[in-house]
Chains A and B, each alone.
Chain A
Amino acid sequence: MNEKIILGHGSGGRMTRDLVRDVFCRHLGDFGPQSMDDGAVLPCEKGELVFTTDSYVVSPLEFPGGDIGTLAVCGTVNDLAVMGARPLWLSLGVILEAGLEIDALERIVKSIAAKAREAGVKIVCGDTKVVEKGKGDGIFINTAGIGVLEHPLTPETIEPGDQIIVSGTVGDHGMALLTLRKGFPLKSDLKSDCAPLNGMISQCLDEAGVKWMRDATRGGVATILNELSEGRPWGVLLEENDIPLSDAVAGVSELLGLDPLYSANEGKVIFVVPRHQAENALKGLKKSAYGKKAAVIGLIVDDFPGKTVLHTQMGTLRTLGILASDPLPRIC
């Protein structure tokens, strides 16, 4: 039988120390904490820092395209990168539920190590707690991240004519997770798009005058663009036919009556760039494996101030609002 997490692993005693050493430090290696001190001592650079934090709860813990560890690194790295920062350091706080298989935890820590290496960030400090069985969902993770601001965004310079770019197909993560829920009656080859995007973003920043960018996570592309357009003297006009969508996502969405524009992404960024630099931006994005399907999907317009509007494939115009809560699949 596989070894499992028990309450003793959170006691602070030898079991905790062994777990940290044998599971966390062993796999994180050079990208993990280099001492058992209470805090990390970090070099101070000139300029400004960006600091962010995010907590990760997901079911199932492992899914095609990643696991909760992949999410915990990529999500925080991407939050820093879309602020225009170069991500440097992450903290790693884990809350483990008694009964979690240590093998599963090891796989998750290996994912964390692999993504930290890919993103070029170090996990400089961490914490482990254990809760009773039934009081957690296997594992909860919090990562905080620090980066150096290199490319401050200038949303105030956005003007009609600017182009809206998405770095690839939309809705993959949300739809993939939905089809993995317990008892979901469909099999699909959907995969989460979870990826660290700081490399891709820096290549795009080098090529094009990015005015604004955001990763289109919870709420999807439509929600993020609503947040951009809200209260502005201009609007966002999207061209439905130009939005990259995999056949699998399109099919599952139709079947369940869900809109992929509101489905979560974990590896997609929306950019606003000046019209004359859109081609450069696309070229820059396509250098990265994560930006091969990047496309211009719309533009900033004088019409519809404050709103995000979709020019549908039927040729009609539809306002994309903000959803109250998670969309519910329909009965029939």
Chain B
Amino acid sequence: MNLLKDFKNPVLARKLSAAIAETVGDRPFSIMEVCGGQTHTIYKYRLREMLPPNLRLVSGPGCPVCVTPIEYIDKAVFLALEKGASIYTFGDLVRVPGTMMSLEKAQAEGADVQPVYSPFQSLQAAKANPERHVVFLGIGFETTLPGVGLVIREAQRSGVENFSVLLSAKRVPPVLDALLSSGKAEIDGFITPGHVTSIIGTKAYDALCETYRVPMVVGGFEPLDLLGAVHLLAGELAGGGTRNLNAYSRASSKEGNVKAQQVMEEVFEEKDDELRGLGVIPKAGYGIRESFAEFDADRRFDIVTNSREPKGCICGEILCGIKAPEDCPLFGAICTPDAPVGSCMVSNEGACNAAYLFRD
């Protein structure tokens, strides 16, 4: 199988597209794709054009950079400029504007900011530069968290003292719970995030389907993965079903990645947490356990910030699926990837970024 081509097969795509149209008929439905990676594929391949007009796709809150509170960026900038820490981060984060500046601008002010692909690179850097304090910016949903947990565990085992993690880790199920219980966004079914689910397992959504009587289908990130997920959801929606199904079985299972779950359990604990635009949600985040406290940058440093959200940005409503990027008065005028106001415009996975990048 050619993984690069086969999941973009236009013949199969047209078949799925026809089957979806036939299944949903004339009734209007709204489906939320939870993950920003899925949003990106939907825009990139214009999948909306392959769906009937009465089937609406709504972008969800699963963009790690987008839901990270602005205060987090301010803390990272503070650590870099005021405490002289070396900041190691995934690339997406460097252009997100903070209250005063982004990490990219802090770099121009002399901060040491290094984009990395894996949290392990930051630990290696700490070992290689014992005179510097290295802070890894641990943001993301359940997908990225096991790697961060492993690095913290390894840092403790090898007795590294000049390393810590500034954590802002989120959990998908409680966020969906909050969205559903608020009733703000009228969503009939969810495409759940493939990579998150490969860690936590499809079982993590069972209770949500049951409580809110809503169908969910795990979706991957290739065009056919997503059309396949929409097709399964369409079947549920048309028949009034509320099952929790899997259209990404090549990576996700019912139980998920048990080893990864064990690492997360060992290093992190659930806590009520703030998501940008969504406010504080019960159990929606992770903190670092007391037994690893020395690697928690928040505990280790006295961090002072004075954070303010930018005016006029509606990232929050976009992340909840209440509004679309094009509904924002700043979109494309004041807020662009060159000069982003909100985080949804910066990240590759942000709905505003995808809508801008792939606009006509």
Q: When the two chains form the complex, which single residue of A314, A317, A321, A330 contacts B357, counting CB atoms closer than 8 Å?
A: A321
| B349: interface (CB < 8 Å) | yes
Asked whether any CB of chain A lies closer than 8 Å to the CB of B65, the reply is yes
Closest A residue to B122 by beta carbon equals A183
B336 touches A318 (CB 8 A): no
A316 and B10 alpha carbons, distance in the complex (Å): 9
Q: Does B75 contact A (CB under 8 A)?
A: no
A315 to B50 CA separation, bound complex (whole angstroms): 10
Q: Which of A26-34, A56-64, A249-257 contacts B (4 or more CB under 8 A)?
A: A249-257
A315 touches B14 (CB 8 A): yes
Pairwise interchain contact A315-B140, C-beta atoms closer than 8 A: no
CB 8 Å contact bits of A315-332 with B (1 = contact, 0 = none): 111110101110111111
A134 within 8 A of B: no
Could you tell me the distance between the alpha carbons of A332 and B36 in the complex, rounded to whole angstroms? 10
Kindly identify, within residues 177 to 198 of chain A, every residue whose CB is under 8 Å from any CB belonging to chain B.
183-185
Q: Does A55 contact B (CB under 8 A)?
A: no
- CB of B309 within 8 A of chain A? no
Which of chain A's residues 277-332 have a Cβ closer than 8 Å to chain B? Answer: 307, 312-319, 321, 323-325, 327-332
Tell me the dominant secondary structure on chain A's binding face: loop
Task: Please tell me if B212 contacts chain A, counting CB pairs below 8 Å.
Answer: no
Contact partner of B358 (CB less than 8 A), chosen from A183, A313, A319, A330, is A319
For A332, give its contact among B4, B46, B195, B223 (CB under 8 Å). Answer: B195
In the complex, chain A residues whose CB is within 8 Å of the CB of B65: 331
Q: For the complex, what is the distance from the CA of A319 to the CA of B43, rounded to whole Å?
A: 11
Q: How far is the CB of B150 from chain A (nearest CB, A)?
A: 14
Whether, in the assembled complex, B64 has its beta carbon less than 8 Å from a beta carbon of chain A, the answer is yes
Q: A313 to chain B: closest CB distance in Å? A: 5
CB neighbours of B47 from chain A (8 A): 314, 316
CB pair B4 A247 closer than 8 Å: yes
Our pick among B4, B117, B337, B358 for the contact of A324 (Cβ within 8 Å) is B337
Contacts of A183 in B (CB 8 A): 116-118, 121, 124
Q: Is B203 in the interface zone, CB < 8 Å from A?
A: no
Query: How many whole Å from A51's CB to the nearest CB in chain B?
Result: 31
Measured CB to CB, the closest approach of chain B to A135, in angstroms, equals 15
Check B45 against A312 for contact (C-beta < 8 Å): yes
Q: Report the nearest A residue to B49, measured CB to CB.
A: A316
Chain B residues contacting A323 (CB-CB under 8 Å) are: 337, 357
**In the complex, which residue of chain B has the Cβ closest to the Cβ of A245?**
B4
B134 to chain A, nearest CB (A): 13
Tell me which residues from 109 to 129 in chain B have a Cβ below 8 Å from any Cβ of chain A: 115-118, 121, 124
- State which size class the interface on A falls in: 20 to 34
Q: Mark A146-188, 1 if CB is under 8 A from B, else 0.
A: 0000000000000000000000000000000000000111000
What CA separation (Å) do A323 and B44 show in the bound complex?
A: 14
**Inter-chain contact A331/B8, CB cutoff 8 Å:** no
The segment out of B90-98, B236-244, B262-270 that lies at the interface is: B90-98
| A332:B347 contact, CB within 8 angstroms | no
Closest to A315 in B: B10
Q: Is the CB of B348 within 8 A of A332?
A: no
Are B117 and A316 in contact, CB atoms less than 8 angstroms apart?
no
CB distance from A324 to the nearest CB of B (A): 4
B8 touches A324 (CB 8 A): no
Chain A residues whose C-beta falls within 8 Å of the C-beta of B195 in the assembled complex: 332
A314 to B116, CA, bound (A): 32
Query: Is B216 positioned at the interface, with any CB of A under 8 Å from its CB?
Result: no
Indicate which residue in A254, A316, A325, A330 contacts B4 across the interface (CB closer than 8 Å).
A254
Contact A324 B143 (CB under 8 A): no
- Which B residues lie within 8 Å of A330 (CB)? 37, 90-92, 347-349
Q: Which of A184, A247, A319, A332 is in CB contact (< 8 Å) with B140?
A: A332
Query: Which residues of chain A come closer than 8 Å to B124, judged between CB atoms?
Result: 183
Give min CB distance, B274 to chain A, whole Å: 19
Cβ-closest chain A residue relative to B44: A318
**Smallest Cβ distance from B119 to chain A, in angstroms?**
11
Q: Do A257 and B117 touch (CB < 8 A)?
A: no
Q: Give the residues in chain B near A312, CB-CB below 8 Å.
A: 44-46
Q: Which of A185, A257, A319, A331 contacts B64 (CB 8 A)?
A: A331
Q: How far is the CA of A149 from the CA of B336 in the complex (A)?
A: 40
CA gap between A332 and B149 in the complex, in Å: 16
Indicate if B359 sits at the interface (CB-CB under 8 A). yes
Task: Decide if A332 touches B37 in the complex (CB within 8 Å).
Answer: yes
Answer yes or no: B40 CB below 8 A from chain A CBs: yes
Does B13 belong to the interface (CB within 8 Å)? Answer: yes
Least Cβ–Cβ distance between B250 and chain A, in angstroms: 15
Closest A residue by C-beta to B139: A331
CB of B360 closer than 8 Å to a CB of A: yes
Whole-angstrom CA separation of A315 from B12 in the bound complex: 11
| Those of A101-129 within 8 Å (CB) of chain B | none
Residues in chain A near residue B336, CB distance under 8 A? 324
B13 touches A315 (CB 8 A): yes
| B20–chain A nearest beta-carbon distance, Å | 15
Residues of A within 8 A of B14 (CB): 315
Instruction: Give the residues from 121 to 176 in chain B that come closer than 8 angstroms, CB to CB, to chain A.
Output: 121, 124, 139-141, 143-144
Nearest residue, chain B, Cβ from A327: B348
24 contacts between A and B (CB under 8 A): A183-B124, A184-B117, A185-B117, A247-B4, A251-B4, A254-B4, A307-B360, A312-B44, A313-B10, A314-B8, A315-B10, A315-B13, A316-B46, A318-B45, A323-B337, A323-B357, A324-B336, A328-B91, A328-B94, A328-B95, A328-B347, A328-B348, A332-B64, A332-B140
Name the 3 nearest CB pairs between A and B, nearest first.
Answer: A316-B46, A324-B338, A328-B91
